[in-house]
Amino acid sequence: MTIDASTSIRSSHESVGLGTDQDNPLTNARSQLEAAARTLGFDHGMHQILANPRREMIVQIPLRLDNGGVEVFTGYRVQHNFSRGPAKGGLRYSPHVSLDEVRALAMWMTWKCTLLDVPYGGAKGGITIDPRQYSRGELERLTRRYTSEILPIIGPERDIPAPDIGTDEHTMAWMMDTFSVASGYTVPAVVTGKPVSVGGSLGRSSSTSKGVVHIALAALEHKGLNPARCTAAIQGFGKVGAGAAELLAKAGVRVVAVGDQYGAVYSSKGLNIRHLAEHAGRTGSVAGFAEAEPVPSEALLELNVDLLVPAAVEGVLNRMNARKVQAKVIVEGANGPTTADADAIFQEAGTLVVPDILANAGGVIVSYFEWVQGNQAYWWTEAEVDERLEHRMLAAWHNLLETQRKLGLTLRETATATAVDKVAKAHKIRGLYP
């Protein structure tokens, strides 16, 4: 990595039209890029190339409802960069989806793939909808219409979607089938996170949680903490949070608090994660779990614990609550859960924050494994997948620590600068066309 602190760049407010709302995920993502560009001594042109998506598509999706009515939804697919390979990123169904959110998530995917040495660029998709309000049939029709609208820009060599908030392996099966029907033959590698029965990879469904826990345990030990004597709080009890809670408990960490969008629960003795999962499966939430006491959702982030895993949505750790956070280690299971203001506060307090582009990269690593298997039509055992996942995660962790010691930056600054530098070098080697 070449660093020239004497080289100046324009403010991102000038170069990319950055807003002033520091809780906006795109503002947060571009702020991180700006810091990396300054560290690396990039000129205005390179900064602009990396700050803006290569391609964006906005589509209107008419959906015929079960009652015969029609609603129209807005969908997005943003491809931030593909200098190092095809674009890769999840598909999110949420009432909070916006173009700026998808742009930010696509940018973070670029850095994540690069940091973990996965040969992809970043992408992200989303539809502004609350999937809980619609039937399975309605969601299938929505997914198939969305897929048909973005067909020109996706494919195994172009852009490979995967599940995210509000979507799952069935969503990916519908996408794969829609793409395959349009192609005239089955194309398993067009998406990842599929059911194993149609070309998915063993170990994919739990991969993000496993990656988070590999890094969390390593981070605790790095801080001189014995995981078997540590406590943890987890915000989010979906695909990532629930799996992380189970795996941390198996590793001996006492998970004392878990929350979701409906509420949070606490037990000083440690939660029985299996019983909590059964309760959440029956009721749809951790709220009301009889073996624990309720706590306000915002209070969960401020508990006196060793480890905090925000595994829900972006921006939950911000200037309003960062000074109240007592955790010694924060491992970001979600994308973008910490704003720039909160980062500065945590740095001042000596709190170790492991950034999302490393901590939750297990999903994209095993998505890459699935893509490789799909292209080769040769499938690995779950033990092989898990072993390769652990190796990739821990190798990236140790490489990040080594680079941090050389640069004297925070882990996030180091991770972002490392990834940004690799993407810029790939772009320079390829050159501008025409």
CA–CA dist 138, 135 (Å, integer):
5
Q: What is the 3-state secondary structure (H, E, C) of the chain?
A: CCCCCCCCCCCHHHHCCCCCCCCCHHHHHHHHHHHHHHHHCCCHHHHHHHHCCCEEEEEEEEEECCCCCEEEEEEEEEECCCCCCCEEEEEEEECCCCHHHHHHHHHHHHHHHHHCCCCCEEEEEEEECCHHHCCHHHHHHHHHHHHHHHHHHCECCCEEEEECCCCCHHHHHHHHHHHHHHHCCCCHHHCCCCCHHHCCCCCCCCHHHHHHHHHHHHHHHHCCCCHHHCEEEEECCCHHHHHHHHHHHHCCCEEEEEEECCEEEECCCCCCHHHHHHHHHHHCCCCCCCCCEEECHHHHCCCCCCEEEECCCCCCECCCCHHHCCCCEEECCCCCCECHHHHHHHHHHCCEEECHHHHCCHHHHHHHHHHHHHHHCCCCCHHHHHHHHHHHHHHHHHHHHHHHHHHCCCHHHHHHHHHHHHHHHHHHHHCCCC
Of the candidates 398, 385, 325, 317, the residue with the CA atom closest to the CA atom of residue 358: 398
- Residues 36-53 as b/e (b if ≥16 CB within 10 A, e otherwise) read bbbbbebeeebbbbbbbb
Across-strand partners of 260?
A: 263
Does the active-site annotation cover 422?
A: no
Choice among 88, 124, 194, 239 that is catalytic: 124
Structure tokens, 96:
């909070």
User: Which residues are catalytic, by number?
Assistant: 124
